[in-house]
Structure 1
Amino acid sequence: MLDSVRLQRRQSEIRQTLSALVGKPDLSDDETRSMESLDAEYRANETRYRAALIAEDTERREAGEELETRSDKEWAEMMASFETRQVVLALDEGRSLSGQTAEIVQEMREAGGYRGIPVPLEALEQRNTVSTDTPSPVRTLSIFDRLFPTSVASRIGVNSVQIAQGSQEYPVATAGATAGWAATEGGDVPAATAFQTAEATLSPDHTLGAHMRISRKAMKQTGAGLEQAIRRDMAAAIGAELDRAILIGSGASGEPTGIVTGASNTEAITGAATWATFKAEILAFMAANAIADPSQVKLAINPQDWSDLDDAIWDAGSGITEWDRLVKHVGAGNVVKATQLDAGTALLTVTAGGLSPAYLGLWGGVDMIRDPYSDATSGGLRLTGLLTTDLVMPRQAQVRVITGIGSA
């Protein structure tokens, strides 16, 4: 029993006893001494009761913090125990899954949508090993950063969303309250407008496939090292292709429409890029109430354009370049060199009102399927990892594209 509860009950007993004694017209010496003793105990218990409440409140807060993070810790520990090598051997040799790997696969299968063996995205993270070569998996990053630790998309503000099934909508306000002045004394203020929204929807319309071919020699030669090799290759293949599609996906042949491809605010220029070129787009963001300061802008440019800006001298006397002027206002940490972008193309994004410039939807994990026929004669193993995804830009006002940089 808590000390505060025990003390509270004792105080109640003391009050009942005192109330009975106070109601008597004549008190004996023993009853008088009892009243004095109970009164002293009551005052002492009040101090102890307050102290108990303070101590128990601290314990509750610590217990609450532990409860809030316990589920995440337990999930991280389970993901750290997932063995991709078991999946490969199960597909190649028909070996049964065991341990927490089997539990995770069974749980994902119950969610449905997998033809082969499901692999959680967390399992593709790169794991550390100790000096004795004994695997010691450590969960260090979130799911988006784990897949794309050097991703251009994540650095320009694209957010990833895990979706169990179905579609997911993002209502975006397009019209609402208005403010204005009454033209005359007693006149009406401007008429109200209806609050309206437009829905940006993520749907499971696009499937990304990553192929992996493992020779019989590799399976027999590498042993436990196959675990790390599969993680690195699969994560790199998925990360690189998703990053490209997020930026410049064509919207055809199964690809989602990338940010640059789907942007409506595109400015075509001619001539070399200058700070003034980017400043005009930043002013457009400010005019749309998307930002209040240039440092809120994320910029992705091709490395060749960065080189040209760094070579373009703005003030010969001081040696200041156009690149120096750009990073002075935007910040070097907000500029990303993106090899996925064509030379002459720059992408500017902002996060406004808590809404990211684009959202990447991920449905479940990677569906790992074996092809038993293509490499049957050589004894090899061919794997296909399928990932369902989609990309949406809720508000075009948060994205601007510049093309033609450096053109004559």
Structure 2
Amino acid sequence: MQHREYGHPVAGRAYTDEEAAKFMLAFESRDFEREEVCTTAISNSNWIARSEPLPQGYTATRSHGRDAYQIHLPHGHAARGAGRNQLPILIDGIQSRQVGVADLDQSGNGALVRFSRNAEGVAAQKRYASGEDVLEVAFLQQSTRSQEVPAALTLKTVNVGRETGDTIMSDAQEMLALAQRHNRVDMAHNAIAAGKSLESFRSELLESISTTAFGGAPAIHTGSERSFSLTRLINAEVTGDYSEAGYEREMCQEAKRNYAGKAKGIVIPSEAIYQSRATMLTSGNASGAVDTVLMGSEYIDALRPFSAVTAAGATFLRGLAANVSIPKNNADVSASWVAEGGAIPESDLDIDNVTMSPRMLAGRASFTRHLLATSNPQIDNLVRQGLAQQIANGLDAAALEGSGVGAIPTGVANQVGINTFPTAGGGTMTHSESLDALAEIAAANLDTTNAVWILNPTDAATLGAQAKDSGSGMFVYENGRILGRRAIESTHATQGTVYVGLWEHCLIGMWGGLDLIIDPYTGGANGIVNIYASQLADVAVRYPPAFQAITLTTP
């Protein structure tokens, strides 16, 4: 049997079942992460009987704290039938140049491709992700077996030396560079695999950045079905034993490498957290969470302010690595009607910048070692959500009414240039006044269709009793809406002030993940583990006239 490789026929030789098993076992037991060159028990260079291309494309994912690629593998059933759980990835079929492995799915229809961290593996991953290299499945010709069994995946170059290939590589590299700046590497990989243009990817990336909301996220699930456990990580840090938290440690090491500045403790990937509570005890405050019959699903959490700015549609910029400067056009050029022979008047663009720089938002939470040791997995989610909500509430308060003094960002209420509207009196707002307040935003050439109101619950009760007119039986605030626009109640809004605006113009930047310092010593005598959490973030307003602060004037 022959196959064609780079246009040249290559003759394979037949292996006995015993030889084939020995060949596969050699690859199965090899540590593909080792830096040095590895060889197998069979060294014949013509070991491939035949190879065929795999279906193009992949789904980018994460495994063991790094990029991985889910592929369709039509011959996976045969490999699993032969007792294989993995296939080696070899450059050009050369046995000594293994750069990764493909973990076979239980279904036998696919595999998870992972590349080595050594230099050759990193280079091979970049070529594969960009489309310069493709994978083929290589078969051994076995003399006594009727069915061909996949022995390895071989990585082959397809785009080098062609003008179109150079263009593809240039676009792919630009996509990856853009994605890395905005923490959207998986999106770039998927776009490259789908053959999308650079322009199309830019558009999708901007849409993703502008619409990503900040809120509760579940634990990370990777292609290898591992999940990030915060309590497992804390327990390992306290005891010094990471034997059960290797995955968490690897994820944190990667997050620390991408952290802006110098982290003081463990850096938790943002996707593992965003999804501090008071001390959780096994007696007193948290006694209901531990012992006898533990009902984690019935845990009674602390009451916290709702993250109103996030719910209203604030724009989140994640994965930032340096100070941010966003160009802003204050005044556009204008066109004029000109008489014949008349001079065309000049009009200049007025360009400004919206800047953001990392500021530290920090908090502390604590819980007992007993709780850590005896609680069920529900507690892991509760700890994660508690930390995330603590940071989220701090961001929400700063985004809405941050003073701008010292390290505190300047929120919407204290931005220069927002609209202000005092009502006539009575500590309320009439239907007519709400129309006037919204009209001031529309006067700045802004579409107020998607405007959102934010108000204190006490003010909500007042406006809910304020009749729109004398005969309709309708009220200013009714069914969660004012003037047909959504209204959100939040204690972060000062009583007596109502906000309305287009909240996508409120920018919240986040640098890196959550910096976590675990302190088992300060409260060690009482079995308390303290957690100090900090997040680098900042708030800015892209266009102040998009917001209105309404003062409910009292007599």
TM-score (norm 2): 0.52
3-state secondary structure, aligned to 1:242: helix
Is 1:248 matched with 2:396? no
Report how far residue 328 of structure 1 moved.
6.9
Deviations 1:292-338 (A, max 9, x none): xx43321111222222222122333331223359947433xx21112
Distance 1:252 1:328, change over 3 A: closer
Report how far residue 188 of structure 1 moved.
2.0
1:102 to 235, 249, 252: 249
Distance 1:66 1:367, change over 3 A: closer
Task: Kindly report which structure 2 residues correspond to 1:156-167, keeping only aligned pairs within 5 A, or say none.
Answer: 156-167=312-323
Report how far residue 124 of structure 1 moved.
2.2
Which residue of 2 is the match for residue 336 of structure 1?
488
Which residue of 1 is the match for residue 221 of structure 2?
77
Distance 1:307 1:167, change over 3 A: same
Asked whether the equivalents of residues 320 and 509 of structure 2 are also in contact (C-alpha less than 8 Å), the reply is: no
Asked whether the equivalents of residues 345 and 402 of structure 1 are also in contact (C-alpha less than 8 Å), the reply is: yes
Report how far residue 369 of structure 1 moved.
0.4
Is 1:227 matched with 2:380? yes
Which residue of 1 is the match for residue 267 of structure 2?
118
Deviations 1:15-50 (A, max 9, x none): xxxxxxxxxxxxxxxxxxxxxxxxxxxxxxxxxxxx
Asked whether the equivalents of residues 263 and 401 of structure 1 are also in contact (C-alpha less than 8 Å), the reply is: no
Distance 1:270 1:218, change over 3 A: same
Q: Determine the C-alpha separation between the residues in 1 that align with 2:348 and 2:468.
A: 49
Which shifted more, 166-175 or 249-258? 249-258
Distance 1:213 1:77, change over 3 A: closer
3-state secondary structure, aligned to 2:449: helix
1:267 to 398, 421, 425: 421
1:318 to 472, 480, 487: 472
Q: Determine the C-alpha separation between the residues in 2 that align with 1:255 and 1:232.
A: 23
Q: Determine the C-alpha separation between the residues in 1 that align with 2:378 and 2:220.
A: 22
Asked whether the equivalents of residues 160 and 361 of structure 1 are also in contact (C-alpha less than 8 Å), the reply is: yes
Asked whether the equivalents of residues 80 and 123 of structure 1 are also in contact (C-alpha less than 8 Å), the reply is: no
Q: Determine the C-alpha separation between the residues in 1 that align with 2:58 and 2:258.
A: 30
Which residue of 2 is the match for residue 93 of structure 1?
239
Q: Determine the C-alpha separation between the residues in 2 that align with 1:104 and 1:315.
A: 59
Report how far residue 84 of structure 1 moved.
0.8
1:350 to 502, 515, 528: 502
How many residues matched? 317
Which residue of 2 is the match for residue 48 of structure 1?
none
Deviations 1:184-223 (A, max 9, x none): 432123x22222311101111x211121112233233326
- Give percent identity, aligned residues only: 23
Distance 1:281 1:96, change over 3 A: same
Q: Determine the C-alpha separation between the residues in 2 that align with 1:378 and 1:213.
A: 12
1:187 to 342, 365, 369: 342
Asked whether the equivalents of residues 114 and 367 of structure 1 are also in contact (C-alpha less than 8 Å), the reply is: yes
Deviations 1:238-294 (A, max 9, x none): 222221121112222422111112253222334131122221122112221012xx4
Q: Determine the C-alpha separation between the residues in 1 that align with 2:58 and 2:272.
A: 27
TM-score (norm 1): 0.69
Q: Determine the C-alpha separation between the residues in 1 that align with 2:221 and 2:478.
A: 46
Distance 1:341 1:377, change over 3 A: same
Task: Give the helix-richer structure, 1 or 2.
Answer: 1
Which residue of 2 is the match for residue 154 of structure 1?
310
1:200 is aligned with what amino acid?
V
RMSD: 3.2
Distance 1:324 1:203, change over 3 A: same
1:344 is aligned with what amino acid?
G
Which residue of 1 is the match for residue 526 of structure 2?
378
2:331 is aligned with what amino acid?
A
Distance 1:347 1:213, change over 3 A: same
Report how far residue 95 of structure 1 moved.
1.8
1:389 is aligned with what amino acid?
A
Look at both structures and tell me which one has the larger radius of gyration over its CA atoms: 1
Task: Give the strand-richer structure, 1 or 2.
Answer: 2
Q: Determine the C-alpha separation between the residues in 1 that align with 2:247 and 2:474.
A: 58
Asked whether the equivalents of residues 263 and 399 of structure 1 are also in contact (C-alpha less than 8 Å), the reply is: no
3-state secondary structure, aligned to 1:267: strand
Gaps of 5+ in 2: 1-53, 62-68, 71-185, 191-218, 276-293, 297-303
